[in-house]
Amino acid sequence: MSEVRLSLDEVAQLVGPLAPSAATHQFWANARDHQLSRRKHWFDAGFDAFFEPASQSVRFVRSEGRRFEGAPPPVWTEPPTTDPDELARSVRALREKLKGRSGPLPPPPGSTDVQKVMGQTTRYNRDPNVIAWVIEQADGVCEVCEKPAPFARADGTAYLEVHHLRPLVEGGPDTTDNAVAACPNCHRALHYSAKSTALRAAVIVRLERMVDHPCKLNAAMQPIPTQ
Ligand SMILES: [Zn+2]
Ligand SMILES: [Zn+2]
């Protein structure tokens, strides 16, 4: 089967009530690579979708070049961890699994409520899936200066670091819309440069996936009351 046509009613029976905007082409066919695209749901299942106003139906067509039986196996399976070695191991395992993959890679959900573990140094329960996705998307190029990573790791992969534009310590989420792949130089600049605020703002403007998450802690690291 390479194509299936479903009326809006039939789709609603499968997935529940549809928004009124479902009767527009934009609802079904917004940008393919946009991570927030509704289309990613069926695209991830191997289909492109086309709305046909005349028949109030949607045509799902097998996406070109995608060959798999049923749904692809889940990618984002590594649990968050506070142990840096375990985190690095999980990221390596994920990147190994992603080798040779092509086409858009749906982002992992990450965490908007990052757990903090107090000890001699405070550690955050970080999601290796978010790191692996960000590094994979960057494809060896720093997302800040847009230059290739300055060196390769021992295993041959490009060395890039993942930075949270709204730091976890300020209540930023561990999600792909808050995490950027940076070369070591740009990573230090994001933290310590006199122009770090402008640099951060520029990255948020340039990279479509980024969200300017609010700071949830004040300078004294106390929660900012919400109105
Ligand atoms: Zn850079
Ligand atoms: Zn950082």
Read off the pLDDT of residues 25-78 as tens digits, 9 standing for 90 and up: 767 765 444 444 455 566 666 777 778 888 888 888 776 655 444 556 678 989
In DSSP terms, which residues pair with 116 in a beta bridge? 124
* Residue 30 CA to ligand 1 centre (angstroms): 31
- Give the model's confidence band at 88: pLDDT under 50 very low, under 70 low, under 90 confident, else very high: very high
- C-beta separation of 46 from 220 below 8 A: no
Please name the amino acid found at residue 37. S
Q: Over 80: is that where the pLDDT of 222 sits?
A: no
User: What mean pLDDT, rounded, does the chain reach?
Assistant: 84
Mean pLDDT, range 194-206, rounded to an integer: 96
Cα 61 from Cα 77, distance rounded (Å):
28
* Residue 136 CA to ligand 2 centre (angstroms): 18
Core vs surface per residue 110-120: b (16+ CB within 10 A) or e: bbeebeeeeee
Higher pLDDT, 108 or 39: 108
* Residue 123 CA to ligand 1 centre (angstroms): 25
- C-beta separation of 201 from 195 below 8 A: no
Cα 142 from Cα 181, distance rounded (Å):
6
Tokens of 178: 């808050």
Contacts of 85 (CB under 8 A, 6+ apart): none
Closest residue by Cα to residue 118 from 69, 82, 163: 82
ipTM of the shown complex = 0.95
Mean pLDDT, range 83-90, rounded to an integer: 92
Cα 7 from Cα 44, distance rounded (Å):
21
Ligand nearest to the CA of 165: 2
Helix (H, G, I), strand (E, B) or coil at 224: coil
Ligand nearest to the CA of 141: 1
CA-based angle 199:109:176, to the nearest 5? 15
Please name the amino acid found at residue 185. N
Inter-helix orientation angle 128-138/84-98, to 10°: 50
Higher pLDDT, 34 or 21: 21
Tokens of 49: 């979708």
* Residue 155 CA to ligand 1 centre (angstroms): 21
Ligand nearest to the CA of 172: 2
- Spell out which residues have Cβ within 5 A of ligand 2, the ion: 163
Cα 40 from Cα 31, distance rounded (Å):
9
Q: What's the first-to-final CA gap in the chain, in angstroms?
A: 54
The residue written with tokens 């590594």 in the block is: 78
